[in-house]
Structure 1
Amino acid sequence: MADTPPLQAVKVFDAVARHLNFTKAAAELNMTQSAVSYQVKLLEDYVGTALFRREARGVGLSEHGRAVAPLVRQALGDLAQAFRSAKAETANLLVISTMHTFATTWLAPRIGSFQMENPELAVRLDISPNLANFHDDGVDVGIRSGKGEWPGIKSHCIGGGNFTVACSPQYYARIGKPKTPADLADCIFIGPRDDWWPLWFAAAGINPPAAFSRPGIDVETQQMAMVLAVAGHGLALVHLGFVTEEFKTGKLIQPFDVMASSGFNYYLVYPEGGPLPNKTKLFRDWILKEAGQELA
């Protein structure tokens, strides 16, 4: 025997106990009277005794029924409150799935302004390189890199597809303040195997080196490349929108005014179709405005 009786039978018992009438209970629950009777019988079989007395004018609670009824009412109230609280928490929590570099270099420093504009919302960042499964992961919106084409997904381009070469002023002076992009071939490249290097050299109008003459520094994220560049360890490829503070404070410079594109951009994504929650609308409007001013 199960430790607890079927919830539907408990709800039926509560309705009949309050109305002391099978017909009124059936109307409240949108059930037939025979279905109500069946659920009461299930519960009485579970308990092993009658919970109601059949009377000429309707039904009355048995001794056991009178003992159980207030406890059931309280338990159902507590259960309803628990789910109301959970629903309210979910309604006021915005879960954003995004990649590490975008989260740490662009979103995290700015997300406070979104919360100041929307103080009723809490925000949780879910850091992952994978496209969120919106149906199973509890994620409201995602930010991903690509071409904006994902089945069943609505996407809004927020930019970030252009990149350039950056380094620290100290490293720039150390390599003799090169005059042309071709003079960079003998430098230390951060992330030398990155597919973006040939794209940048092509944008500069020169053939990329077949092989870099000096060993580079392999990194896994653009954020790490930026940290190494600021420390003066070589040349890095960066999105300008991710290093605005570093450029403002002079920690990084752009040796040449050459921008390249990977053909990929960052996109705000969420499930297509169905009503859009207000919290998603608020974040969509905020990030499109914010990114439109800063991400190229």
Structure 2
Amino acid sequence: MDIDQLRTFDRIARDLSFTHAAARLDVTQATVSMRMRVLEDHLGVQLFVRGRKVALTDQGMTFLPYARRILNTVNEGREALRRVERGRVTLACLRSMVTPMLTDPLLRFQARHGEVDVIVKEGHHNNVTTMLHDRTAELGIVAWPNLDPLVPDLYPFLVMREPVPLVLAPHLAKKLPAKPMLADVLELVPRVISLCWWQVDPEGATSLVRRARTSVEIPTGPARRLAVAGDGLGFFVRSAIAAELKDGSLVEIKPVDFNPLYRDVALVALNKNVLEREMIRDFAHEIAAECARLGTIVENRLG
């Protein structure tokens, strides 16, 4: 089985014609027929019903998505090689940090390195560590400390601490006393909006959810809308609600008997040698500058 055979199989399946497939592939019809005979012999099944009309057999329909998956993987590999020749930086990031942490650094980086491809992938913590483990990302932005047993020895170049404030809609916050207790808040707003900012929720977050009459766990976008509408008390990383805090559609509250929450995130790699590449080192420094703006840098090994 080879790529030409799979490409020919896919082309016939699209055109349902050996003649049209030969024309599109710029080979003779005899070549197309020969490739299919060899492929069918290798698989031990008949892929097409041949006659005045060509049709996929049940076996052909079953095999088709696998053949296309192989062809797509080959194309992705070729594109990756072309990107390496031009220069490439690949980074996997926590979904909540893509916009606040990477937008401005990317703009500054590409202003200096317009010829370099930058590939940013997003996901939850375990998605990011998997991409690092599989070498589909060179740098990662993860929750810290890393508790994923798949990749236990990530090297942290930078650790940033960001506040996770409790927020309410302003019309509700005005009803609270000047120095509210947590019981005052939960009496006014019995629903807590819980978001998974941590790998393991800190005691303050779990205690708040336990004390609430009801709780809801939803993605960040709808959670923000719920909080703005006054339908819940939420704890959000500050960068996720910066716009709402600025325009006043959400306000931070500080119950006197509730310890402040925070989240640490880290810029990591499988090993520190990735910074030997100038473009990766430059991009990492741009991210560090943004971290300093967003929160407090508690560790910096970038040099």
Once residues 107 and 169 of structure 2 are traced to their aligned partners in structure 1, the CA distance between those partners, rounded to angstroms, is 29
Alpha carbons of structure 1 residues 108 and 259: separation in structure 2 relative to 1, 3 Å: farther
Once residues 247 and 3 of structure 2 are traced to their aligned partners in structure 1, the CA distance between those partners, rounded to angstroms, is 65
Once residues 130 and 109 of structure 2 are traced to their aligned partners in structure 1, the CA distance between those partners, rounded to angstroms, is 22
Counterpart of 1:271 in structure 2: which amino acid?
L
Contact 1:94 1:122 in 2 (8 A): yes
- Kindly indicate which of the two structures has a greater share of residues assigned to helix: 2
Q: TM-score, normalised by structure 1?
A: 0.57
Partner SS state of residue 143, structure 1: strand
Contact 2:93 2:140 in 1 (8 A): yes
Counterpart of 1:290 in structure 2: which amino acid?
E
Partner SS state of residue 190, structure 1: strand
Asked if 1:116 is matched to 2:111, the reply is: yes
Once residues 196 and 135 of structure 1 are traced to their aligned partners in structure 2, the CA distance between those partners, rounded to angstroms, is 24
Partner SS state of residue 119, structure 1: coil
Identity %: 17
Counterpart of 1:295 in structure 2: which amino acid?
G
Alpha carbons of structure 1 residues 192 and 288: separation in structure 2 relative to 1, 3 Å: closer
Partner SS state of residue 243, structure 1: helix
Residue aligning to 2:8: none
Contact 1:132 1:142 in 2 (8 A): no
Counterpart of 2:239 in structure 1: which amino acid?
G
Counterpart of 2:212 in structure 1: which amino acid?
F
Residue aligning to 1:281: 281
Shift of 1:184: 0.8
Q: Of the candidates 226, 232, 235, which is equivalent to residue 234 of structure 1?
A: 232
Partner SS state of residue 191, structure 1: strand
Higher Rg: 1
Residue aligning to 2:193: 191
For structure 1, the residue ranges without an aligned partner over 5 or more in a row are 5-82, 202-206
Residue pairs, 1:57-68, within 5 angstroms = none
Aligned residues: 208
Contact 1:185 1:209 in 2 (8 A): no
Shift of 1:143: 0.6
Shift of 1:156: 2.6
Residue aligning to 2:137: 139
CA RMSD of aligned residues (A): 3.7
Shift of 1:253: 0.8
Q: TM-score, normalised by structure 2?
A: 0.56
Counterpart of 1:168 in structure 2: which amino acid?
A
Shift of 1:209: 7.9
Partner SS state of residue 244, structure 1: helix
Alpha carbons of structure 1 residues 133 and 241: separation in structure 2 relative to 1, 3 Å: closer
Once residues 116 and 144 of structure 2 are traced to their aligned partners in structure 1, the CA distance between those partners, rounded to angstroms, is 28
Residue aligning to 1:172: 173
